[in-house]
Structure 1
Amino acid sequence: MSQILNQKRNRGNTSSIEPSNNSSNSSNSVLSGMPTTTPGTLTDELAALFECPVCFEIVLPPIMQCQVGHLVCSSCRSKLSCCPTCRGTLGNIRNLAMEKVANTLMFPCKHKSTGCRMFLGLNEKAEHEEVCEFRPYSCPCPGASCSWQGQLEKVMVHLQHAHKNITTLNGEDIVFLATDINLPGAVDWVMMQSCFGHHFMLVLEKQEKCDGHTQFFAIVQLIGSRKQAEHFAYRLELNGNRRRLTWEAMPRSSHEGVTSAILGSDCLVFDTSIAQLFADNGNLGINVTISVVC
């Protein structure tokens, strides 16, 4: 039997459940023999030479150095008055030789400490790190001002401590009851669903456009990576008065968040008139079913 939840949340306030408004040839010949997918000791040792002594990130071009040759990344350079290694004078000296070497190396992803094993060239490194599955997770609450970030296993702990009013129901088939959908302004309704050993966040968001037109957006995100999300599907269904409106999709990863999906209408979207067809005294029930994709 389905479980029923009545859960409302202020946009921007997760502590309340009340809705409101709201180029050397000799160098190349040596380096060209190094593997590109599983770099050996030589690559690891060379990559270590590019570590910034201040932020410990990889020093990428433009590579700056002090007068005796100690490297520092360009970001940290702007904040320093002397070399952090030898305390000598820092000018605006670029190490062109090291920049040339950098273009031949494979560097570890900056999320190596949390599990990423990728080594990438300079052209791919930044792009990969933006979507790396091992990058920190942000708080998944929509519309919230929470700036928390951490590892995947800490997300639910954070929600349970910082956003206690978000209720979790167990089961693959539940009913999400959003109350007072006729309230004016922007409102979020949020709940958690736990099944198949994972946690899913269900979001119903109400937005008022500049022209006064109001739309509702309903979506599910998995508290996990995109690879994990690919193993599941969700179905949202509105039922009532001999009518049915259904949306089926793969859940969003909490790495992706729901904002881009809502902006692109890649979710269940309906306006006020549709909402009223299915609502009962201003309350809207949404059947939510999570299934495993073989």
Structure 2
Amino acid sequence: MESGSIDSSVSSLIMMDEDVNLHHFSSITTKLHSNGPTASSVYQLLECPVCTNSMYPPIHQCHNGHTLCSTCKTRVHNRCPTCRQELGDIRCLALEKIAESLELPCRYSSLGCPDVFPYYSKLKHESICNFRPYNCPYAGSDCSVVGDIPYLVTHLRDDHRVDMHSGCTFNHRYVKSNPMEVENATWMLTVFHCFGQYFCLHFEAFQLGTAPVYMAFLRFMGDEREARTYGYSLEVGGNGRKLTYEGSPRSIRDSHKKVRDSHDGLVVYRNMALFFSGTDRKELKLRVTGRIWKEQQNPEAGVCIPNLCS
């Protein structure tokens, strides 16, 4: 947006609504003229001074014209963080109307997103932007670390001490000496590296209704669309019997709790697990094996066929 068009649009806003706060409108135009006026100076005006995110209606202001977003109004207990005056319920209509005329780059532009959006579409896009950072996928903690995949792999290895494994097959053994105890536990057993990607194997023990169960599932360290291009299988068994599961790994965009609660994995009831153990129910010995493959499109048949990891 050209600075001249910003200047003219700002000047016209005062004609649009008689309820606009004149004191604050004057401060807006003063800042714009002293800064350029440029698009970046307008964007700075729309930045909440508390959380530094872009402000969306309702935009609040105090009697002295200081603004902040509606979320932070509650956080500061209705006191202006700049002058400490009570905020009340004053809306800054001038900034709200300026916002309607703007287009903004995605907040993840520095991470590679090239898109620009009308001000009121930007927030929706950012919630699903493929370039947004990933949350740490470690299960069983409230880790707040975010970053790209290489950073998170290093973080999982160094900070959470997760085992790293190269290859597309796995064989894990879970042993419990007092299997009749009710247990709620979460583990990230291993991070696998195959096909140039990373996968997290999870194991959960929890109550499903009144029944204790164990569950294993795989998550893909990447976005949902790419996760669907892979498949995996899980198997648990003993005493001549076995349970198997096949599916697509879920993206780490979905939390491990969300995947667990959807039961999207291999679920084994404790009674069945004890039968597989073959130890007269005195000890649980559960072995989970599996493999990962990449689905490839067969152009002649029009179907996906598995490409097994060598």
Q: Same fold (TM over 0.5)?
A: yes
State the match for 1:279 in structure 2.
277
2:234 to 233, 236, 247: 236
Cα shift readout 1:178-201 (whole Å, capped 9, x = no counterpart)? 222826212334222221222211
Aligned-partner residue type, residue 58 of structure 1 = S
Q: 1:183 to 1:146 in 2, by over 3 A?
A: farther
State the match for 2:54 in structure 1.
58
Higher RCO by CA contacts (8 Å cutoff, separation 6 or greater) = 1
Cα shift readout 1:238-277 (whole Å, capped 9, x = no counterpart)? 2444433221111111121221121122222221233234
Q: Distance in 2 between matches of 1:145 and 1:59?
A: 28
The 3-state SS of whatever aligns with 1:51 is coil
Q: TM-score with structure 1 length normalisation? A: 0.70
State the match for 1:249 in structure 2.
247
CA contact (8 A) 2:50 2:81 kept: no
Q: How many residue pairs end up in the alignment?
A: 253
Q: How does 1:128-143 map to 2 (within 5 A)?
A: 128-143=125-140
CA contact (8 A) 1:204 1:218 kept: yes
Pairwise CA distance, 1:129: 3.1
CA contact (8 A) 2:79 2:87 kept: no
> What is the identity percentage for the equivalent residue pairs of Structure 1 and Structure 2?
31
Q: Distance in 2 between matches of 1:131 and 1:280?
A: 47
With 180-189 and 240-249 compared, the bigger mean Cα shift is at: 180-189
CA contact (8 A) 2:108 2:131 kept: yes
1:175 to 171, 190, 205: 171
Q: 1:272 to 1:82 in 2, by over 3 A?
A: closer
Q: 1:153 to 1:170 in 2, by over 3 A?
A: closer
The 3-state SS of whatever aligns with 1:293 is strand
Pairwise CA distance, 1:64: 3.2
State the match for 1:200 in structure 2.
199
1:73 aligns with 2:72: no
State the match for 1:16 in structure 2.
none
Q: 1:121 to 1:220 in 2, by over 3 A?
A: same
RMSD: 3.4
CA contact (8 A) 1:176 1:288 kept: no
Q: Distance in 2 between matches of 1:253 and 1:136?
A: 13
Larger Rg: 2
Q: Distance in 1 between matches of 2:49 and 2:56?
A: 13
Q: 1:73 to 1:242 in 2, by over 3 A?
A: same
Q: Distance in 1 between matches of 2:159 and 2:174?
A: 22
The 3-state SS of whatever aligns with 1:278 is helix
State the match for 2:264 in structure 1.
266
Aligned-partner residue type, residue 59 of structure 1 = M
State the match for 1:21 in structure 2.
none
1:158 to 152, 155, 162: 155
State the match for 1:289 in structure 2.
291
Instruction: Point out where structure 2 has 5 or more consecutive residues left out of the alignment.
Output: 1-9, 14-37, 297-310
Aligned-partner residue type, residue 193 of structure 1 = F
State the match for 1:17 in structure 2.
none
CA contact (8 A) 1:217 1:270 kept: yes
CA contact (8 A) 2:139 2:256 kept: yes
Q: How does 1:27-38 map to 2 (within 5 A)?
A: none
Q: Distance in 1 between matches of 2:46 and 2:273?
A: 57
Instruction: Point out where structure 1 has 5 or more consecutive residues left out of the alignment.
Output: 1-23, 28-41
CA contact (8 A) 1:155 1:223 kept: no
The 3-state SS of whatever aligns with 1:98 is helix
With 186-195 and 254-263 compared, the bigger mean Cα shift is at: 186-195
Q: Distance in 2 between matches of 1:188 and 1:89?
A: 48
With 239-248 and 199-208 compared, the bigger mean Cα shift is at: 239-248
Q: TM-score with structure 2 length normalisation? A: 0.67
With 126-135 and 172-181 compared, the bigger mean Cα shift is at: 126-135
Pairwise CA distance, 1:205: 0.8
State the match for 1:11 in structure 2.
none
